[in-house]
Structure 1
Amino acid sequence: MPALDKPLEQLVKYTTSTPRPKDFDTFWQQGLQELDALDANVSFSQADFQVPYANCRSMHFTGTGGARVHARIATPSTLSGPAGPALLFFHGYSGAAPSWVEMLPYVAAGFTVAGLDCRGQGGLSEDAISTKGNTLHGHIIKGLDDAPEKLYYRNVFLDTALLARIIMAMDHVDADRVGAYGGSQGGALALACGALETRVKRVYSQYPFLSDYKRVWDMDLDKDAYAGLRDYFRRFDPLHKREDAIFEKLGYIDVSHLSTMIQGEVLMAITLMDNICPPSTQFAAYNAISTPKSHLIYPDFGHENLPGANEEAFQFMLGL
């Protein structure tokens, strides 16, 4: 097999290259306190799509910065008996919440399913926080020239935690049986959700994005989804005088640091030929997790469809 990254025996021990800000814990504690003070103002409307065994609705809630955030909610049409499990779906970069049809297998298994639209991407959520600086080639750098609280992904990560709180508070949901699921950006958001809402019991993360930015840079893979990093340095710090400070600031929104906070069980699908989210960055997040965990290693696959992964994730979540 051609080598893209470190040998596997090194990957399984690798820890992140991205510096962790000294006030990292305080930063996220303050973010969660901001959620505590929010009036989420949750509202629902019926979706055009309906099937006999599911109730499909659109939900809006108010997140940080006053943004109205959208999610798709599908619940079993019959909600008799004890409260059941729930699954939080997070989508890939530039996309939107999964289709109703993608959510229905879990509904048929008795889950309430919520699919988040990330702010300012392919769905219906607002991106309401204004920031200094540019956003060309990606959201990673949005807010990088402003206060850390204005970093785009800081607020998206908090949206995942707020969504979890809203779903866990529903009468028909057992708050002790909630999972988070996603791939690429969604894989990062699933990890962030499990970190910031520690009641999440199971996390499935597939080749997570937003992990170990410095390693991406060192591998010269700051392109495609990470192109914003290269463009930022070329335009605003061409001599790299602020390189250390920039990567430390990005450390606030790095899931290789957030993953240390996860309390639930984790299943991760890792791709060893991935030149979008390099294997070492995936292992940086995985190796930071201290709770029960397991991985599916795909030696010959990159950032693509993974045969059998959806089925493995389904079986994993059925254990909730």
Structure 2
Amino acid sequence: MPFTDLSLADCRDYRPTLPVPADLDAFWSRTLDEARSCAADKPSFTAVETGLTQVRTYDVTVPGFAGQPVRGWLRMPAGASEPLGCVVEFLGYGRGRGLAHENLLWASAGYAHLLMDTRGQGWSAAGGDTADPDGGAAGVVPGFLTRGIESPETYYYRRLFTDAVRCVDALRDRPEIDPERIVVTGVSQGGGIALAVSGLVPGLAGVMPDVPFLCNFRRGAEISGRPPFTEIAEYLRLHRDRTESVFATLSYFDAALLATRATAPALFSIAMMDDICPPSTCFSAYNGYAGPKDVRVYAFNGHEGGAEYQQREQLAWVASLFAGLPSGQAGHS
């Protein structure tokens, strides 16, 4: 596929001025405080039998936004006796948590691994188990990117980002997890969620966003030719008088903006032929990221990005990161 965006040199210099709501920090502080205060139920971790002898798996339910249940899988190496470093993974658009025996990379490497389900999604082969009670009707544009977009209070990603923060909260209270060694990661939508969490949760050990979505919404809607960014353009094609109000809502959820509040070390990956998350939108987040950072660029790949090659980079990066951190409770196995 051809290059359709800025050159790599121009991407590295690309630092757009993103709109910052005056009450951005207050909005998120209130949102997260409300979620934490209304969670009547504690997180549950129920062991499940998968037939895998070297990996322990737990069916997880965490009270997320408004205390609503969010599902997930927690996997860890069998026989681990010390608190583990943990990788929290958020999923791409349309994906759900899948089956209990899948996604074994991080547990096989000796870490705990929480895979968070995505509320209302999971219509792909990787099915989901988390409802979105506040979702309402999808509206005139299919998908989730414009659901509730009339207001930051009702926007879908307010609920989803809160779910992600609450999953990190839940892990910090688990005796099997070293709370100082939690890394968040994800591909595409999952990468955007990881960036948002990095700006909303202090004290993370690291962040690994791959070809991150949800960055620089306006540019994505203007230049991307494939969904999901096209959902915004389609919505505004139908609602010609809502352009400014739509982007005002989206500014509260721009992962590139929230990343300017992050301090944890980050390893990004960006693909230069990505026509779903154009590289300039990803570099908006990378260039503005406030913590220590590095990036792997895949010059001739589309939205698949680095795939297994990037996983190899991540395994080495996490091992080095955790080896250099002071131990909170104990080292990972």
TM-score (norm 1): 0.91
Q: Hey, what's the Cα distance between the residues in 1 that align with 2:51 and 2:198? A: 30
Is the aligned partner of 1:232 residue 2:232? no
Q: Does the aligned pair in 2 maintain the 1:137–1:231 contact within 8 Å? A: no
Q: Hey, what's the Cα distance between the residues in 2 that align with 1:20 and 1:132? A: 29
Q: Partner of 1:274 in structure 2?
A: 274
1:98/1:311 Cα in 2 relative to 1: closer, same or farther (>3 Å)?
Answer: farther
Q: Hey, what's the Cα distance between the residues in 2 that align with 1:105 and 1:217? A: 34
Q: Partner of 2:255 in structure 1?
A: 255
Q: Partner of 2:93 in structure 1?
A: 93
Q: Residue 210 of structure 1 aligns to a residue in which SS?
A: coil
Q: Hey, what's the Cα distance between the residues in 2 that align with 1:273 and 1:312? A: 20
Q: Partner of 2:23 in structure 1?
A: 23
How many residue pairs get matched?
Answer: 314
Aligned-partner residue type, residue 126 of structure 1? A
1:305/1:260 Cα in 2 relative to 1: closer, same or farther (>3 Å)?
Answer: closer
- Structure-to-structure mapping, 1:26-41, within 5 angstroms: 26-39=26-39, 40-41=41-42
Deviation of residue 264 (structure 1)? 0.7
Q: Deviations over 1:50-95 (max 9, x none)?
A: 4222211111122113421101111222232x42201101111100
Q: Does the aligned pair in 1 maintain the 2:135–2:156 contact within 8 Å? A: no
Deviation of residue 242 (structure 1)? 2.9
Q: Does the aligned pair in 1 maintain the 2:195–2:256 contact within 8 Å? A: no
Q: Hey, what's the Cα distance between the residues in 1 that align with 2:174 and 2:115? A: 15
Q: Residue 150 of structure 1 aligns to a residue in which SS?
A: coil
Is the aligned partner of 1:125 residue 2:126? no
Q: Deviations over 1:293-316 (max 9, x none)?
A: 000011111111525111101111
Matching residue within 175, 182, 191 for 2:195: 191
Q: Partner of 2:68 in structure 1?
A: 67
Is the aligned partner of 1:149 residue 2:153? yes
Q: Hey, what's the Cα distance between the residues in 2 that align with 1:87 and 1:98? A: 17
Q: Partner of 1:202 in structure 2?
A: 206
Deviation of residue 245 (structure 1)? 2.3
1:259/1:98 Cα in 2 relative to 1: closer, same or farther (>3 Å)?
Answer: farther
Deviation of residue 100 (structure 1)? 5.0
1:172/1:45 Cα in 2 relative to 1: closer, same or farther (>3 Å)?
Answer: closer
Aligned-partner residue type, residue 229 of structure 2? Y
Q: Hey, what's the Cα distance between the residues in 1 that align with 2:294 and 2:99? A: 28
Q: Partner of 2:216 in structure 1?
A: 212
Is the aligned partner of 1:134 residue 2:134? no
Q: CA RMSD in A?
A: 2.0
Q: Does the aligned pair in 1 maintain the 2:140–2:235 contact within 8 Å? A: no
Q: Partner of 1:8 in structure 2?
A: 8
Aligned-partner residue type, residue 110 of structure 2? G
Q: Hey, what's the Cα distance between the residues in 1 that align with 2:274 and 2:204? A: 28
Q: Does the aligned pair in 2 maintain the 1:222–1:229 contact within 8 Å? A: no
Q: Deviations over 1:207-253 (max 9, x none)?
A: 0011111101232x264212321221122x23xx3312211211111
Question: What is the percent sequence identity of the aligned residues?
Answer: 28
Q: Does the aligned pair in 1 maintain the 2:12–2:287 contact within 8 Å? A: yes
Q: Deviations over 1:158-178 (max 9, x none)?
A: 111110111111012111111
Q: Does the aligned pair in 1 maintain the 2:222–2:233 contact within 8 Å? A: no
Q: Partner of 2:331 in structure 1?
A: none
Q: Does the aligned pair in 1 maintain the 2:20–2:251 contact within 8 Å? A: yes
Q: Partner of 2:328 in structure 1?
A: none
Q: Partner of 1:313 in structure 2?
A: 314
Q: Residue 195 of structure 1 aligns to a residue in which SS?
A: helix
- Unaligned stretches of 5+ in structure 2? 123-127, 323-333
- Unaligned stretches of 5+ in structure 1? none
